[in-house]
Homo-oligomer: A and B are copies of this chain.
């Protein structure tokens, strides 16, 4: 076995999920994540955790979803397992990133809605999502297989402690601020000028560990849960939503809700997301990418949204970790991230002060206020 797979498993189990002896762990294994599953099982055996491995196959899901009449319910057995689990480790890496492309979006939404309780039970655990580099993900990234493996391990096998320190500075700025404004004025794109409140919300220093309320490996972003969004925003980074290609999305917000939308490609998908439920029309997340180890877009949200020089906004569910105890954030069955490149003609302001210009942060040497 490639040593990097074992190192990946070690970062996941020790740094990210902080698994302890006797923990009840669910490991979700995508079709081609077998090798990582073996390494993770070895590591979990060493720690002395109790393990259930689930088979998270896109092809199995597709067959089930297409055959079903659409009146879904979450199984009591699946809910019971999730409620009793201490941690969920999701090892992505299927054989085909478009395996569910011919499942209609009404079905997808109905299925997602039926699983709201289940999803919440999982999010109450120490969950972490990562991916095993597979050929299908390499293809999605337009990269050769070995090249893609290097890309993934460069992003995953990092000095997470030192990255965490740098991100703490951005977290402080957001925590102390009330209003965030994102402005982008590129000649070749529709304009972006959007404001949102972050007053009372707590930013997460997403250092790829549950100890930081961070649940992705790799990570490297600072995110919070905004509200009262107003203005317009254009997302120029392409992405895949429910196996469909989506590009050039423009959203207009009033009083916190999307009131107008358009997309150069995949407009139906955006519409379908927005119609999932009321919460799907509001933002659940503002995220600022700070992982400069990720050097290109690979059409995989796990990596793209962490990249330096990017900002992302998510429609739908807010994370509890951004909310004061007892406060309700935005509820939704979906959480769909959309990314915009802020490397040029862009700025982020907090309470009227520029804190990032063209991707460079105020606390960095190269910053030109």
Contacts and interface: CB of A to CB of B under 8 A. Distances in A.
A105 to B, nearest CB: 17
Interface residues of A, number: 50
A57 B53 contact: yes
Nearest to A45: B67
Interface stretch (A77-85, A194-202, A231-239): A77-85
A60 B48 CA distance: 15
A41 interface: yes
A77 B84 contact: yes
A57 B37 contact: yes
A2 to B, nearest CB: 15
Nearest to A95: B34
Given A22-B73, A38-B59, A52 B64 contact: no
Residue of A42, A55, A80, A85 with most partner-chain B CB within 10 A: A55
Interface stretch (A23-31, A220-228, A359-367): A23-31
Residue of A39, A43, A52, A69 with most partner-chain B CB within 10 A: A52
A144 interface: no
A76 interface: yes
A216 B333 CA distance: 39
Nearest to A31: B34
Contact of A60 (B41, B65, B69, B76): B41
A77 B50 contact: yes
B41 A75 contact: no
A292 interface: no
B24 A75 contact: yes
Contacts of A24: 75-78
A26 B55 CA distance: 11
A63 B46 CA distance: 9
B51 A53 contact: no
A296 interface: no
Contacts of A50: 73-78
B63 A41 contact: yes
A44 interface: yes
Nearest to A50: B75
Interface of A: 22, 24-26, 29, 31, 34, 37-39, 41-46, 48, 50-57, 59-61, 63-69, 71, 73-86
Given A42-B67, A44-B64, A50-B74, 13 more contacts: A24-B77, A29-B55, A29-B57, A34-B60, A37-B57, A38-B59, A46-B67, A48-B68, A50-B76, A52-B54, A53-B56, A76-B84, A77-B82
- Please give me the 8 A-B residue pairs with the lowest Cβ-Cβ distance, nearest first: A50-B75, A45-B67, A81-B81, A42-B63, A80-B80, A45-B64, A55-B55, A45-B68
